[in-house]
């Protein structure tokens, strides 16, 4: 006789699974809410308390913590049979468990005394026992695996390979569960735990990393990490990095906007009356760099824009949606990845360093724009400053951005000297910089960057402020009749 023990918080699909197991001559054991659901559906089962001889107690805290349960899960066939028979322990062949929803309840900000009751004890104990004994016991922790189990029991049974796969998922689930509890408890009195644990699922191998000699994978089933092409080639490591950079910047804009990214930096950003206008404007900021880029737009891709993009080489195109007609047009570029804009998933930023990781969190904050020169920006200059500042936030430091009110004009990024960034932006400018606005991601330590920008034609500048030489920079701005704004917020990106 084969036994299956069912004990689940999430009842999704459990009745269908139980009926399939019953049809295949499994005897079912259950308790608590799962038993109640089975009874209401007319599925016959044995109460765990009837099997163990001990009732549920302590408001359900103790139900399955008993040698007859754990012996049934841990007992090795042909090795422990005699001791199991002596103590009346049945072999349990299948365990189906999902846990109290601690993560979901913790997100509701409930008080600790209430939340503590959502820490599952018996469930993880059974899962670990069954997973340890995977050669003889199948353990199922995810309702999405129920169809596979049903097919298997109707056929030749759950194979050794399938049991190992299920055991891996089981240990991953208990690891994530314990990490969530640990992290939450630590964060009650500290923003960061003394032991930092994270876990991401849905891992997929990539062809290689940043370069062909490097190995890589992507993990995550939501946000950019979970994004996979509707059509086109498999995403690469660099595609994911660039896409993440592009989407982060694109989300700064409410009006129709296009962001073009190359090597993790924007090479063209523009707003327009529609996304076609925005894309063409952004591309023409630096058409050489736009070749082989990642393109992000914040409106549904139009037929006109699809045809325009299909006339050049683009690695990835992302938009909120694509019509079937547009997808057919874009099939002409069979290697171009087509991605639907995913929802945002706010999270800590984690970067590896030798021997560990750096963890960064961005709490809610407020910029404080303050005009600190004799002259206020004109309305046109203010719009240009706002656009330049948005782009500046998402470009590698040191960065200097020239812009008008519609698009970037010149981008200088990733230089050790801020003056060099300004010179590069000027050299790469796609149009006259006369009357343009400039953004600097950090304060200007000397007037030189401002003076270089003014000589190129800029008439307004935005920067965080905070240098010991702010007075000198302000005096230079006034002398050059430039409007300047301090924001109080620095945006280094290393």
Give me the active site residues, please.
132, 263
Pick the closest to residue 88 from 101, 107, 75 (CA basis): 75
Encoded tokens for 315: 């690695």
Q: Are 323 and 275 in contact (CB under 8 A)?
A: no
Say how many C-beta atoms besides its own lie within 10 A of residue 387's C-beta: 25
Distance between CA 485 and CA 390 in Å, rounded?
Answer: 14
Spatial separation of the C-alpha atoms in residues 58 and 422, rounded to whole Å: 69
State the residue for tokens 């595609």: 239
* Long-range CB contacts (within 8 A, 24+) of 204-211: 206/234, 206/235, 206/236, 206/237, 207/234, 207/236, 208/236, 208/237, 209/237, 210/237, 210/238
Q: Which two tokens stand for residue 132?
A: 């340890």
Run of H or E including 8: strand 2-8
Distance of CA 274 to the CA centre of its chain: 29
Exposed/middle/buried for residue 351 (C-beta within 10 Å: 0-12, 13-18, 19+): exposed
Tokens of 225: 């990490």
Which sign, positive or negative, has the C-alpha torsion 449, 430, 326, 299?
positive
Closest CA to 440 of 405, 388, 488: 388
């Amino acid at each position: 006789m084969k036994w299956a023990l069912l004990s689940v918080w999430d009842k999704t699909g459990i009745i269908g699974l139980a009926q399939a197991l019953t049809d295949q001559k499994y005897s079912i054991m259950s308790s608590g809410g799962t038993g109640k659901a089975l009874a209401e559906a007319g599925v016959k089962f044995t109460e765990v308390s009837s099997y163990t001889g001990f009732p549920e107690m302590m408001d359900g805290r103790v139900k399955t913590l008993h040698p007859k349960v754990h012996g049934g899960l841990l007992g090795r066939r042909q090795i422990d049979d005699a001791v199991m028979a002596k103590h009346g322990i049945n072999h349990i062949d299948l365990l189906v468990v999902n846990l109290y929803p601690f993560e979901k309840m913790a997100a509701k900000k409930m008080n600790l005394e209430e939340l503590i009751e959502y820490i599952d004890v018996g469930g993880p104990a059974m899962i670990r026992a069954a997973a340890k004994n995977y050669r003889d016991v199948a353990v199922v922790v995810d309702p999405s695996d129920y169809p596979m189990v049903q097919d298997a029991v109707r056929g030749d049974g759950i194979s050794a390979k399938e049991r190992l796969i299920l055991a891996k998922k089981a240990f991953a689930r208990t690891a994530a569960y314990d990490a969530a509890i640990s992290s939450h408890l630590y964060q009650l009195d500290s923003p960061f735990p003394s032991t930092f644990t994270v876990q991401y699922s849905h891992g997929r191998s990539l062809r290689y990393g940043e370069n062909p000699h490097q190995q890589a994978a992507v993990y995550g089933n939501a946000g950019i990490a979970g994004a996979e092409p509707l059509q086109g080639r498999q995403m690469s490591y660099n595609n994911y990095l660039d896409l993440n950079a592009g989407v982060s910047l694109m989300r700064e804009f409410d009006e129709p906007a296009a962001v073009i990214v190359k090597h993790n930096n924007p090479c063209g950003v523009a707003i327009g009356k529609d996304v076609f206008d925005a894309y063409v404007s952004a591309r023409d900021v630096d058409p050489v760099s736009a070749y082989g880029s990642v393109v992000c737009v914040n409106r549904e891709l139009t037929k006109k824009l699809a045809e325009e993009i299909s006339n050049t080489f683009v690695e990835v195109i992302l938009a909120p949606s694509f019509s079937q007609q547009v997808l057919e047009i874009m099939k002409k570029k069979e290697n171009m990845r087509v991605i639907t804009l995913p929802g945002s998933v706010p999270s800590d930023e984690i970067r590896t360093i030798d021997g560990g990781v750096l963890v960064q969190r961005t709490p809610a904050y407020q910029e404080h724009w303050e005009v600190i020169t004799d002259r206020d920006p004109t309305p046109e200059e203010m719009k240009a400053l706002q656009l330049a500042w948005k782009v500046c936030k998402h470009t590698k430091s040191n960065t200097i951005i020239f812009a008008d009110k519609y698009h970037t004009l010149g981008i200088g990024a990733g230089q050790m000297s801020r003056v060099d960034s300004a010179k590069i932006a000027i050299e790469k400018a796609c149009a006259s910089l006369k009357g343009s606005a400039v953004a600097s991601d950090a304060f200007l330590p000397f007037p030189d960057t401002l003076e270089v920008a003014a000589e190129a034609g800029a008439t307004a500048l935005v920067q965080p402020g905070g240098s010991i030489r702010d007075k000198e920079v302000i005096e230079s701005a006034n002398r050059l009749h430039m409007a300047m704004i301090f924001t109080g917020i620095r945006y280094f990106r290393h």
